Homo-oligomer: A and B are copies of this chain.
Amino acid sequence: MRTATAQRKPHRASRDAAPTDTHAIVTHIARAIAAHKLPPGAKLGEEALGEIFGVSRTKIRQALFQLTSDKLVTLIPGRGAFVAQPTVREAREVFEARRMVETSVLTAFIERASTKDMATLKNHIAEQQRATDAGTAQTRNHLLGDFHTVIARLAGNDVMTAIVAELVARTSLITLLYQNTRGASESLTDHHTLMAAIEKRDVKLALQLMVAHLNDVENGLVLKEEAPVVADLKSALG
C-alpha cells in the first residue's frame, strides 16, 4: 500500500508535555493579544511558536490561519504572520458594526430576559466591579468586553453571540493600537447605568445608553494612522 523508502528519525508518538490541541493554541494567542502582551505588528514566527507550545509547525499554522480569519492576525504571503494592525477605517467600521449589532441584541435581551437572566447579568457587573477594585488590568479588560458578549448569549442566539464575540475581540486590539484615553472606570460606570435601564426593561433608554457608551469609547480613541509598534514573542506568552 505504501512505497517504503528509507527510515528516518522515528516520530515520537507519546510526548512528555500535554498534547496541546489547536484550539488551545488559538485561545492562548488570542488571549495574549487581547491582554496587550503581543502588540499590533508583532511577528509571529512559526518555528518560535512551535517551540513555545511544544508542537510542530503544522498545528501552529492551523492556529495562525484561524486567527487570521478572526482578524486578529494578518498573514502576508511569503512573509509570515503578524498581530493585526487594524486601520482607522476598519476601527470605525467595527464600532459602527457594534452599534448596529448590539442594539438589536440588547432589544432582544430586554424582551426575553427571565429574572434569572437579569440576575446573571447583574452578577457579571459585580464581577467587573471587583476586578476593577482589586484585579489585574488583564482580567478587568476581559470582563469589560465580555459583558457585551454575555448579553448576546443570554439573548439566546448563538449566531449573534459569535458575531458579537468577534467584534469585541477586534475592539480590544483597536483600543490598544489607538491608545484610548478613556479609563476602565468610565466604562464600568456606563455598564452600571445601562444595567439600571435594562432592569426596568426600558428599551428606548437602554438603546440610547448603549449607543452612547460605544460612541464614548470610540471617541476616546486617537484615530490617526500610527507608526507600527513592535515587540518580541517569548516574554509575551508566559
Contact = CB atoms under 8 A, between A and B. Distances in A.
A92 to B, nearest CB: 9
A157 B96 contact: yes
A97 interface: yes
Q: Which of under 10, 10 to 19, 20 to 34, or 35 or more describes the interface residues of A?
A: 20 to 34
Contacts of A105: 100
A13 interface: no
A187 interface: no
B159 A93 contact: yes
A225 interface: no
Q: What copy number does this chain have within its complex?
A: 2
Interface stretch (A28-36, A39-47, A62-70, A215-223): A62-70
Nearest to A70: B69
Residue of A6, A100, A108, A160 with most partner-chain B CB within 10 A? A100
Given A69-B66, A69-B69, A97 B5 contact: no
B8 A100 contact: no
A108 B65 CA distance: 32
A111 interface: no
A65 B63 CA distance: 10
A105 B96 CA distance: 10
Given A6-B5, A8-B5, A65-B62, A160 B104 contact: no
Contacts of A93: 157-160
Contacts of A9: 3, 5
17 contacts: A5-B8, A6-B7, A6-B8, A65-B65, A65-B66, A90-B158, A90-B159, A93-B158, A96-B108, A96-B160, A97-B157, A97-B159, A97-B160, A100-B101, A100-B104, A101-B104, A163-B163
Interface of A: 3, 5-9, 62, 65-66, 69, 90, 93-94, 96-97, 100-101, 103-105, 108, 157-160, 163, 167
In the complex, the 4 A-B pairs of residues with the closest C-beta atoms, listed nearest first? A6-B6, A100-B104, A93-B159, A97-B159
